[in-house]
Amino acid sequence: MKRTLVFLGFFCIFFISLPKISAQENAEYFVKQGITAARLGYTEQAIQNFNNAIFMDPTLPEAWYNRGVLYYKIGNFNKALFDLDQAVRLNSKQATVYYQRGLIHHALSNDSIAAKDFQTALSLDNSLSDAFFNLGLIQFEHQDYEKALSNFNQVVRLDSKDARAFYHRGLCKHHLGKFFEAIADYDTALSLSPLDMEILLSRGVSKAEAGYYFTAIDDFTRVIQSNPQYAEAYFNRAMARFTLYKFAEAESDYHMAYSLDSSAEALTGRGLSRLAQHQNDAGCTDLKMAAELGYEPAKKYLLNFCKD
């Protein structure tokens, strides 16, 4: 699942010093006016002000930077990248410029380039926690869990109240098989963000992997109570119940998961739960449907349990 990177801030002025005279004639004045307009939601007016600033002084990095950030905000990534390239060319020592350009490269699916920009930003300012976080997200997406873990560690070091950092660090530890450490990070994340059901679901998954099926079921049940349409919670609770030989309850949960997302995995689980209850015709029908959807495990189960 591709995750959304964290935006550092829409509009940042760096090294601007407004003149005491001829403000109306000065490019920096238009940058300030553009930032104000953008913050108030007047996008076209803001862009025009940045255009004026660039026309008056094409060497002013603030104008290119802020226009590029605004283009990024409205989803015009190619124009945003052009402007941020100009800002980097004019001022190669500003960490936030590389950071924002990294966000744009990620939006354009240039993750390797985005990662380099985040690394450059950190080489200029190693207190930029969002750069650590977003670099970790990219590494996590590409399944480089050790490197991602290292970067989430840095975010936690810089801000011990950042729930998202503890959560993503927990995800890394889970994928590295460190289930108990993952659970501890999810506990911390939940103490900071107690209403986040995604964290609670992930904690349940780690508990199940660690063999704590009953408490995992408790977590999945809480998620379902909060959001009865959460298919993944039903699916994970079904797996835990199946493992505990609670086949009727597992069947019910797989049925709910399938009714919400029509996944072949849920259909397969329902089929196996029915077979475990000696509902052979219904179970084999489910497996056949899942196999027809192209789900390979269902095909294997069908050959093993439904030979007739």
What DSSP line would sit under 139-195, residue for residue? HHHTT-HHHHHHHHHHHHHH-TT-HHHHHHHHHHHHHTT-HHHHHHHHHHHHHHSTT
Cα-based distances in Å from 149 to 6, 12, 178: 17, 29, 12
Task: Please report the domains of the chain, with CATH numbers, ordered by start residue.
Answer: 1-128 (1.25.40.10), 229-308 (1.25.40.10)
Residue with the two structure tokens 């408790």: 218
Model pLDDT, residue 307: 78
* Separation between Cα atoms, residue 210 and residue 207, nearest integer Å: 5
**pLDDT tens for each residue of 36-58:** 999 999 999 999 999 999 999 99
Model pLDDT, residue 132: 98
From the centroid of its chain, how far is CA 264? Answer: 25
Angle at 71 between CA 70 and CA 75, to 5 degrees: 120
Model pLDDT, residue 15: 40
Model pLDDT, residue 86: 97
Model pLDDT, residue 25: 54
Model pLDDT, residue 5: 53
Phi-psi region of 212 (alpha: psi -120 to 50; beta: other; left: phi over 0): beta
Tell me how far apart the 2 most distant CA atoms of the chain are, in Å: 91
Angle at 12 between CA 44 and CA 73, to 5 degrees: 45
* Separation between Cα atoms, residue 188 and residue 135, nearest integer Å: 22
Residue with the two structure tokens 């990294």: 102
* Separation between Cα atoms, residue 107 and residue 91, nearest integer Å: 23
The C-alpha R_g of the chain, in whole angstroms, comes to 26
Determine contact, residues 233/202, Cβ cutoff 8 Å: no
Tokens of residue 194, six digits: 């107690």
What pTM was computed for the model? 0.86
From the centroid of its chain, how far is CA 281? Answer: 42
Side-chain-side CA neighbours of 196 within 13 Å: the count stands at 18
Residues lower than pLDDT 50 in the chain: 1-2, 6-8, 10-11, 13-24
